[in-house]
Amino acid sequence: MKMRGLRRFLAAAIALTLPILLLLLGEASCDAGGAATVVVSAPPNAPSSSSSSLSVTVNEVMARNGGTLRDESGSSPDWIELLVKPRGGGAAPPSVNLGGYAVTDDPEHKEVWALPDREVPLTRGGVAHVVIFASGRNATTTAAAAPLHASFKLSDGGEYLAVLDAEGQVVDSVTFSSQYEDVSWGRDSAGSAGHLSRPTPGARNSALVAEGTPLLKRVTKSVSPPPTIEDDITVRACLAVLGEEGRERDPSSAKVELRYKVNFERKEYAVRMEPAGGNGTYCGKSGEATGYQEYVGVLRHKGFSGAAGAHPGDMVRWYVTAENGIGASARSPALDVVAESSADLPRYHGTVVLGAKSTLADLTSQVDKLYWFIQEKDKWAIEKSQCSAFPCLADKDGAHEARCSIYFQGRFYDNVKMRQRGISALLWPKKKFKVDFKGANFKIKLPGDEDISVEEFNLQSHWEEPGEETYMRENIASDFFKDAGLPVFETLHVEVVQNGRFYGLYSIVEQIDENFLKRIGYNPKGHLYKAFSGTASNLNDRVPERLMDKVYRRGNRVEDEDDWSDLHALTQSLAGKNRKYSGVEEYLYNHANIPELVNELALQAAILNQDRCTKNYYVYYDTDMEEWSRFPWDLEAVMGISSALGGVPAPDYCMLVCPQFNSPLYCDSDHPQDPLPNYGSPQAKHYVRKATVVPGLETPEKNYNHLTDALLDTPSIREMYLRRLKTIVDKYLATDYLKDRVNHYYGQIKEIAKKDDSKWGTGDIWEGYEQLLKEQLPQRKQQLMSMYAAGGPEPLLPESQDPSKATVEIKNAYVPANGEYMTSIEVHNPHDFAVDVSGWVVTNSKNVTSARQYPKSKSYCSDVEPKQSDYSCKDIVAWGSCEQGSVKKKGICRKSCGDCRLRSGPLRFTLAAGTVIPSKSSLFITDDVVAYRKSLRQHNMFQHAVGPVDGDLKTYSKKDGFAVYNDLNQKVF
């Protein structure tokens, strides 16, 4: 809205906006979450196109942006879309330049905003949709990756808007009418103007909305806390009716109805919604002046309670309709039959209805209830076993998917997809489930008031654990890994209530996908692969590229679903078959995220996860950093023990007492993972016959993980791993950390676990609790602190790290003031023992606390297709060269972004969890890890390189140099 005279804001560096614009305009700026703001880009000082050769028109306007489109700071300013088309016949050029053009909302043209010189790429249709934020910020930078911000704002009451050419002549002008929140004004394909049926910034406009069409906003979507059968349900909605050009219509003339039903009954009930009246603020501070009027409808509890209505635990769903009497109508939730995903749209808003207020003690429970509503026919289909014998390799794509509704933590979700998940778990009576919201966001409030949003999650059933049932192994592992700095999924215990009845104690487990990658700060466009086939998905080199999809699955959406070349290259390189490198060690130092992999290995060994060699993990290739990481998955088997409480260990799967499984070297070629238990000779033989069609099937002696084996066969990385494992043992196993987590969860879930055992026969949680505290944890602690400790019978681990002796030094530091060469800071370990430097800081700041508080850059930029760009995919330069640089990636160039390496403040770099410097060795910190590694390869060298170092290079002086602080903030150099 127009607010002249306000101080202009500085454009923030983090980009957030609609991803569809990325496809249409071709450039993106960096943002902390991997999203992109669409901008137009060109080489600076490009020649302006003649006004006679271009048609530039105002195509779409939104002057009340309530969140339809966000700028790089996350705000929702007004916006203007220009439609640019070359005039004349013949083939359209690949791009045009808008330098010299201007836009203005001043009828006298005294105040205009000039577009910067930028080359605008045209679509295949020979047009460009140029989005300009009318924010008042006046951002006219010529940088290739920057959003456009005009120097003025728009009036939501309607106003004049014009495009001027280089001579100041008007090439197009409009006067748009009064605006409604998130409703755009624009032109249709025939050139007629008016409000549009849906906003389309950066894309072809939608159809015009007819006069008198009602608009519904802010309809009550759910009730929190949930009502009881004694409570009425009040539903509110904001209604506007589009009028003729420049004129509003009175919304009170519309017929507004609230329609509802209980559970899955066919019958719907209707309640007339009436104008609220008064000076309420539900529809905005200015109320009716915005064109919206509040309507209220009440579902009386007497109308839906009783024998034929809602009972405690039932679901009440509703939708709101508005009709103008001449055929135009609106519905909330809207059912857009044109949308590709219309089948996945919610049909209703809703809530669960609880019992009388005197019985609401469960609202204060330590475990949230997840209310799951599903029709009986779908309930039977989704719960039945999909096969009858192990291995249950059901086709996930052909598995039965049920539609259901969910109420959780005050929010209601309708028309949600759900199916069984797992392999051996498909045989369990108490199933695991995958819940998919198909693009919608399911919000989870975690302990400590941390919120995350996911598109899908998993419901873990806690059915089968190695030892007595504890209902908490996966939750403890997630807490443990996160506390030690490993990227890991979040978990949350929930009491599942199905159709009003107790169903079981489950855990929500965050899905590893694009949302997970964004949350942990990894590039969501990297390549994520899940090992799922068991004995063939251990990264062995015998699976050909064309059959990779038979034993691995993709964990995120990528440009080319059929391209498995990077995963195949990994498996071949781990076997020493990559001729580009002298051996496996050189490959790992060039393409492995060594700190993350070392940390993951150490944590898995410390908590004794037996089921991780051939499945239950993801590998992830960061396409910008060109390196591999690994994420743990399905952690039910941690803290393993093969006996009942007080019993005798199993003779074959003696996971806690046999060196085969309890060794810190588990999952290497000398400590393989045996195949899953024999479920009967005929079935086992059938499995072997069936499995012969799977390429790369490993026999029992080869059931090890080839990445783990390669890491542990590399002496320097093996030394890093054992040092990190000792750090983990001293910090977590030697203390009461794990014991405290066990007690914490036992206190939370024990009563619900008893109900679960009564329903499913899962197991007595008390026995699992006792076994962890009295058998498993003490034995594992003894193994790692005595048997495998220095001086023990199998002395694999080093001595504990002494902070007074664990020091490093800055051996060499090259920091070019002008950026002509890459930064190289050598951190050297002069000792004959490895030093764990996890969480240590290298900085030229005099204040380590201040250095730690500065933001840390992310390690990636968005991938952008080079549409007739002024740079080549063969160019490889530093991240900071936004005007020139790119990195080659299979025909896709990644334009370098200026804010990927933060350039303000002191120079600083915090070493990631799992970073260890081997004895008499060095670590090198640089500002561009990929380019640094490639420069070394030109001289047949490789080093342990990390980065990027953040801060202003000009703050460095050789006289003052760098300081190094350990994780206790003690200065060690």
What is the predicted pLDDT for the residue at 397?
A: 52
Phi, psi of 177 (to 5 degrees): -85, 180
Q: Looking at 230-234, 545-549, 840-844, 856-860, which range is the least confident one?
A: 856-860
28 near 38, Cβ under 8 Å?
A: yes
pLDDT, greater one: 326 or 740:
740
End-to-end CA distance of the chain: 55
- Residues 631-642 have a mean pLDDT of 95
- C-alpha distances in Å from residue 85, one per residue of 26, 52, 80, 121, 376: 17, 11, 16, 11, 56
Please report which confidence band the pLDDT of residue 900 belongs to, taking 50, 70 and 90 as the band edges: low
DSSP conformational letter for 732: I
pLDDT at 11 over 50: no
789 near 778, Cβ under 8 Å?
A: no
Q: How far apart are CA 159 and CA 149, in angstroms?
A: 19
Please report which confidence band the pLDDT of residue 860 belongs to, taking 50, 70 and 90 as the band edges: low
pLDDT at 307 over 60: no
Please report which confidence band the pLDDT of residue 875 belongs to, taking 50, 70 and 90 as the band edges: very low
For CATH 2.60.40.10, the residue range(s) in the chain are 214-355
Q: Looking at 159-163, 655-659, 786-790, 863-867, which range is the least confident one?
A: 863-867
The highest-confidence range among 57-66, 542-551, 588-597, by mean pLDDT, is 588-597
Phi, psi of 301 (to 5 degrees): -60, -25
The highest-confidence range among 213-217, 323-327, 773-777, by mean pLDDT, is 773-777
pLDDT, greater one: 100 or 604:
604
- The amino acid occupying position 353 is V
| pLDDT tens per residue across span 747-765 | 999 999 999 999 999 999 9
Please report which confidence band the pLDDT of residue 536 belongs to, taking 50, 70 and 90 as the band edges: confident
Say which CATH topology domain 214-355 has.
Answer: Immunoglobulin-like (2.60.40)
The two three-digit tokens of residue 248, written as one number? 């509003």
User: Which residue carries 């020091």 as its tokens?
Assistant: 807
Please report which confidence band the pLDDT of residue 362 belongs to, taking 50, 70 and 90 as the band edges: low
pLDDT at 50 over 60: no
Please name the CATH architecture into which domain 802-860+900-973 falls. Sandwich (2.60)
pLDDT at 5 over 70: no
904 near 927, Cβ under 8 Å?
A: no
Q: How far apart are CA 868 and CA 866, in angstroms?
A: 6
- C-alpha distances in Å from residue 171, one per residue of 103, 104, 253, 272, 950: 10, 12, 41, 50, 46
Please report which confidence band the pLDDT of residue 647 belongs to, taking 50, 70 and 90 as the band edges: confident
Please report which confidence band the pLDDT of residue 689 belongs to, taking 50, 70 and 90 as the band edges: very low
| pLDDT tens per residue across span 722-739 | 999 999 999 999 999 999
pLDDT at 700 over 70: no
| pLDDT tens per residue across span 213-253 | 888 989 999 999 999 888 899 999 999 887 654 455 666 67
Q: Go through 59-69 and write b for each residue having 16 or more CB atoms within 10 A of its CB, e for each that does not.
A: bbbbbbbeebb
Please report which confidence band the pLDDT of residue 827 belongs to, taking 50, 70 and 90 as the band edges: very high
- Residues 882-902 have a mean pLDDT of 40
pLDDT at 892 over 50: no
- Residues 646-661 have a mean pLDDT of 85
Q: Looking at 173-177, 303-307, 896-900, which range is the least confident one?
A: 896-900
Q: Domain spanning 20-195 has what CATH number?
A: 2.60.40.1260
Question: For a pLDDT cut of 90, what percent of the chain falls above it?
Answer: 53
Q: Go through 675-713 and write b for each residue having 16 or more CB atoms within 10 A of its CB, e for each that does not.
A: bbeeeeeeebeebeeebeebbbbbeeebbbbbbbbbbbe
Q: Mean pLDDT score of the chain, rounded to an integer?
A: 82
Question: For a pLDDT cut of 70, what percent of the chain falls above it?
Answer: 80
Dihedral sign computed on CA atoms, order 486, 641, 492, 499: positive
pLDDT at 837 over 60: yes
- Does this model's pTM top 0.85? My answer is no
- Residues 202-213 have a mean pLDDT of 84
- Residues 510-533 have a mean pLDDT of 91
pLDDT, greater one: 67 or 340:
67
User: Which residue carries 């052909």 as its tokens?
Assistant: 398
- Residues 507-517 have a mean pLDDT of 95
For 19-74, list the strands marked E by DSSP: 27-28, 38-39, 54-62
570 near 587, Cβ under 8 Å?
A: no
656 near 779, Cβ under 8 Å?
A: yes
What is the predicted pLDDT for the residue at 628?
A: 98
Q: How far is CA 894 from the centre of its chain?
A: 20
- Residues 689-718 have a mean pLDDT of 75
What is the predicted pLDDT for the residue at 258?
A: 96
For CATH 2.60.40.1260, the residue range(s) in the chain are 20-195
What is the predicted pLDDT for the residue at 856?
A: 79
